[in-house]
Structure 1
Amino acid sequence: MTTRPLLAVLALALNALVWGLSWWPLRQLDADGLHPLWTTAAVFILATVVLIFISPSSWRYFKQHPQLWWLMAASGLTNVGFNWAVTTGDVVRVVLLFYLMPTWSLLLAWWLLGERPTRGALMRLGLALLGVVLVLKTPESAWPLPQDLSDVLALLGGFCFALTNIWLLRLQHTPESARMVAMFSGGALMAVACAVLATAAGVVPTAQVFAVPLESHGVSGLLTWLTDAFVTQQVATWAPWVLGLSAAFLVSNFALQYGAARLSAHTTAMVMMSEVVFASVSSVALGASTLTWRVGLGGGMIVLAALLASQAHTDKNHA
């Protein structure tokens, strides 16, 4: 293997490592009182500021290509679903359900791009869905599935990830900087919107947003709340984690762009599947997951279906 392909593989492996281990700092922050929705908002706001500083003209392309707003929404909801799920649920289950993404891609491509699935594609779909049933269904759980919020979030995150890839395909003629700003700003905007709605609905306790509950109303009450929150010792605890995650996600995204542009779709998918390994090994070792034979077998089916899908996509492009 020459130097350039090796660097591309290492870049993709770095991206997979970052996302495969992201559950740990997210859980650390959650334990310190910062809900994953607010963590996602803070991390992606910082990353967006950095990207705009690097390429301040990126926003101008949103007027020329309004579909970038759809990319923003899809990418933002992907991060909301994954980060919330991996913080509150069993990490291995969440990652495996998230990687049902190729199945969603098949259905979305049929709907949005008019690409009718082949018999092989439908067989891969069946294999992936059987794997999902094995992962979700235990002797103790009842139908219908899924039941846990983390399972729902993981599935929705994978669906939005597939939708993100569809929009990236349709927007491949736009500048890379504009797509990156759309994806990171979407992570910030969707996380803030979901956090506010979830807090108002009581899904996220107000006390977990900041150390100081928001009890008063009006502009003066809001300013007082923000001031009290940001002078607490907790923010000093959160800051290193948030800064570290922002830097890690930025580096991993640049690594993904570098690697995916230099390798085939099949090779990219194979390397990216190492995220499942990184997440599984780390979470089982640290007691955040339980690896049963059902999860192992079902997860293997999901991963195999994803790899077969990427191989079929590569063969189609080479035909």
Structure 2
Amino acid sequence: MPALALIFNAFVWGVSWFPFRHVESHGMHPVWTTCLIYLVIATLMGIARRHAWKGFAAYPMLAVLGLAAGFTNVGFNWAVTQGDVVRVVLLFYLMPLWSVLLAWLLLGERPTGGALARVALALTGVVVVLKTPGTAWPVPSSLPDWLGVAAGFSFAVTNIVLRRLREAPGESRALAMFCGCVVVAGVTALAGSALGAIASPMQAAPGWIGWAALLGTGFVIANVCLQYGAARLTASATSVIMLSEVLFASVSSVALGAATMDSRILVGGALIVLAAVWAAFARTRVRGDDRASLST
């Protein structure tokens, strides 16, 4: 059951691009959609779990967690709506690279030889994915590319901050992440609409509401499944199972014409996923060694 719960979580995020694109087809920008969905979720949770607000006073860093989660959601949701889904998801999953760098800078964890090798492996995969025949140097070449990279970086920050907040109540962490999505998406949407870069939600056709409700329901259930599964499985098992999001996103987007799959994407994606799997098992071995040393 824990594994199935995590697979469902990965499925929801892997196919979320589809309802997001239907919402956008009715004139509602994905950033506005993200803001409104999480506004409803945060409001309902804030009312139903009022005691969760107390955690903000005891753990001020929850605000940082909220902002990191907000940038993650805004970047990912916007990117998969606008760009090639497989390409965006692969760029998002550059966790070995960002995790090593952030752990070094913020937690003082110097990278090992194995960690540097995983970074090199992930970077090689990125070069393969981005190196198209028309590019002289493989760098992100579009807004969805940059959003995918930025969302992956923000996701790594989210995980680092979660490690620092392991003692905070789970409900307070979840509420902080929901509120952060509202704030970041809301500010981005308002600024974008004021500048004319993002369409006003007042111009949207009413048909988007059903798809947005489907997304919101899926996100809530997916979050519950994540909390349930991650609490009952090892970190390595959780990390590897969550990578099934790449599979769900790839199959669904290619089948529905929202992405292309060629040998270059397959090879580069395999390198990125391999680096992430390697990182997952490496973390488990390190934690096991730490427990052994403490017991002696």
| Equivalent residues of 1:26, 1:36 under 8 A apart | yes
Is the partner of 1:210 in helix, strand or coil?
A: helix
Is the partner of 2:167 in helix, strand or coil?
A: coil
Structure exhibiting the larger radius of gyration computed from Cα positions:
1
Aligned to 2:292: none
Cα distance between partner residues in 2 of 1:115 and 1:201? 42
Aligned to 1:249: 219
| Equivalent residues of 1:29, 1:35 under 8 A apart | yes
Which of 62, 77, 81 in structure 2 is aligned with 1:83?
77
Query: CA deviation digits over 1:253-311, x for unaligned, max 9?
Result: 11001101111111111111110000000000000000011111001000000000011
Which of 197, 202, 224 in structure 2 is aligned with 1:210?
202
**Partner amino acid for 1:250?**
V
**Partner amino acid for 1:299?**
G
Cα distance between partner residues in 2 of 1:123 and 1:44? 38
Aligned to 1:31: 25
Question: 2:106 aligned with 1:117, yes or no?
Answer: no
| Equivalent residues of 1:33, 1:210 under 8 A apart | no
Cα distance between partner residues in 2 of 1:15 and 1:144? 32
Q: Aligned runs of 1:125-274 on 2, under 5 Å?
A: 125-143=119-137, 145-206=139-200, 209-211=201-203, 234-235=205-206, 237-274=207-244
Deviation at 1:53, TM superposition (A): 2.5
Between 179-188 and 239-248, the greater mean CA deviation after superposition: 239-248
Between 20-29 and 196-205, the greater mean CA deviation after superposition: 196-205
| Equivalent residues of 2:70, 2:182 under 8 A apart | yes
Is the partner of 2:260 in helix, strand or coil?
A: coil
Deviation at 1:144, TM superposition (A): 6.2
TM-score, with length taken from structure 1: 0.88
Query: CA deviation digits over 1:233-268, x for unaligned, max 9?
Result: x23x12211111111101101100110111111111
User: Please, which runs of 5 or more residues in structure 1 have no aligned partner?
Assistant: 1-6, 212-228
**Partner amino acid for 2:131?**
K
| Equivalent residues of 1:47, 1:247 under 8 A apart | no
Aligned to 1:277: 247
Cα distance between partner residues in 2 of 1:72 and 1:180? 9
User: Please, which runs of 5 or more residues in structure 2 have no aligned partner?
Assistant: 290-296
Query: CA deviation digits over 1:94-117, x for unaligned, max 9?
Result: 000000023101100000000000
Is the partner of 2:151 in helix, strand or coil?
A: helix
TM-score, with length taken from structure 2: 0.95
Query: CA deviation digits over 1:129-183, x for unaligned, max 9?
Result: 0100111110112436111000000000000000000111100101000000001
Cα distance between partner residues in 1 of 2:76 and 2:266? 20
Cα distance between partner residues in 1 of 2:47 and 2:250? 36
RMSD: 1.1
